[in-house]
Amino acid sequence: MKRRTALKKLGLGMASMPFLSFSGKDQVVHWDRGYGLEYTSDEEYWKQFKKAYYAVSEDFINLENGYFGIHPKSVHDAYLSNIKKVNTLGSNYMRNDFFPELAQIVQSLETFSGVEEGELLITRNATEALNVIIQGLRLEKGDEVLLSRHDYGSMIEIFEMLEQEEGIVLKIVPVPFDPKDDQEVIDAYMSQVTPKTKCALLTHMMHLTGQILPVAKIARALKAEGVEVVADAAHSYAHVDFNIPDLEVDFLGANLHKWFSSPLGAGLLYVKKDRISDLRALYGDSRLPKDDIRRLGHYGTPATPVVMTIPIALQFNKDITVPVKEARLRHLNQYWTQQARSIPKVIMNTPVDPNRSCAIASFGIEGIKSGDLVKRLYDEYGVFTVAASLEGRQVTRVTPGLYSLQTDFDRLLEGIQAIAKKA
């Protein structure tokens, strides 16, 4: 079936695009039903929530919310008016108002993240934050670093560049796809530690499998061996409930444009206060004191309207709360993965234990390349996912957003069933 036909069958397409009631200038979403864990599996509640908060395309079912998070209407409206404000006031705003506002925004993020004043910087994304950290650590020839093939490609590339240019040594940790307990994961990391191990990258939530690592426990074991631990929280920040210090790492990079719901182009760099002076700045700075985190953020004029919109996204997170987001996203994940696991020829890449993943999960079907599977799900069922491969496994990654409904997964499962049957 061609995609258009499939969309027609779904009753989707431009003609069925619902009236989008943007809240206009006041940037207020009208929602009086409250928020709470009691609504986690209440589909009627989430249907209304979607209507109130989101204006997503109804042309297809978007189960690829891992790339970035479609932000709610309140954030979208604020973003548009901030673009207008900057472009109306010009550098008068930048020279007089923006930087005091930025300081307040950073402070509010510090409070939200549970860190001390002066430990956070806003970056353009997690990649930038993690480059500042990893390249700032002054790794030298012969230093060994621990990473896994499950980590994000751009982070692996930082270490590969340092391998080529500085002569550091990469040790690949065999992260289990479906660990039976935390100890198995800790052991996998510790098995690669030698007296030369200087640094380890721990991805809190893996982008291709959705696996959540017990970062604090691994970090504790590694730090006892004198290893610097860097956490990649690109996917976990504002997705699962934690304060940055809970992870027990000194260095962390995160995204605001994934689960925090800011506009595209915002991330976070965290460095524990007493470690700031240990990093060499990636972007030249000769003025600020060595223990001032802003020394690490000399990367020029920011995407100002994006940064100005962060408080509205923060308010959204405070209203709904991260535990409620986490519970709903995990519910959706479990709704489809539990059914998919029992379909013959389906191979799940995500741990069985519900607490070892949240929104993200991935799978393959025996005998089908993930690229072909993703195309068929889209063309024949109107379901948008993304394809990859990992350590020889086929990966079709499925990631709901907060606007996703169980019926979206019914359609996905219909596709998986039919495709697997004929495979």
Ligand X SMILES: Cc1ncc(COP(=O)(O)O)c(C=O)c1O
Residues of this chain that bind ligand X (CB under 6 A): 125-127, 152, 154, 203, 207, 232, 234-235, 255
| Token couple for 36 | 């709470």
What b-and-e string marks burial along 218-249, b requiring 16 or more CB atoms within 10 Å of the CB? Answer: bbebbeeeebbbbbbbbbbbbbbebebbebbb
The answer to whether 156 and 130 are in contact (CB under 8 A) is: no
Q: Which residues contact 102 (CB under 8 A, 6 or more apart)?
A: 122, 302, 307
- Amino acid at site 201: L
CB of 289 to ligand X, least distance (A): 28
Q: Find where tokens 């039903």 sit.
A: 33
Say how far apart CA 375 and CA 80 lie, in whole Å: 34
Q: 270: phi > 0 → left, psi -120 to 50 → alpha, else beta; which?
A: beta
3-state secondary structure of 246: helix
CB-nearer residue toward ligand X: 124 or 328:
124
CB-nearer residue toward ligand X: 27 or 262:
262
Q: Which residues contact 17 (CB under 8 A, 6 or more apart)?
A: 57, 58, 59
3-state secondary structure of 263: coil
Neighbours of 388 (CB within 10 A): 17
CB-nearer residue toward ligand X: 124 or 198:
124
CB-nearer residue toward ligand X: 197 or 203:
203
CB-nearer residue toward ligand X: 46 or 242:
242
CB of 365 to ligand X, least distance (A): 23
CB of 29 to ligand X, least distance (A): 25
CB-nearer residue toward ligand X: 152 or 270:
152
CB of 203 to ligand X, least distance (A): 5
CB-nearer residue toward ligand X: 55 or 126:
126
Angle at 238 between CA 232 and CA 242, to 5 degrees: 75
CB of 194 to ligand X, least distance (A): 26
Q: Pick from 261, 225, 251: which is nearest to 29 by CA?
A: 261
CB of 153 to ligand X, least distance (A): 9
CB of 124 to ligand X, least distance (A): 8
CB-nearer residue toward ligand X: 81 or 154:
154
The answer to whether 121 and 306 are in contact (CB under 8 A) is: no
CB-nearer residue toward ligand X: 254 or 293:
254
3-state secondary structure of 186: helix
CB-nearer residue toward ligand X: 73 or 258:
258
The answer to whether 120 and 293 are in contact (CB under 8 A) is: yes
Q: Which residues contact 20 (CB under 8 A, 6 or more apart)?
A: 55
- Amino acid at site 404: S
CB of 95 to ligand X, least distance (A): 29
Q: In angstroms, what CA-CA distances link 48 with 17, 329, 408?
A: 16, 16, 15
CB of 422 to ligand X, least distance (A): 32
CB of 85 to ligand X, least distance (A): 25
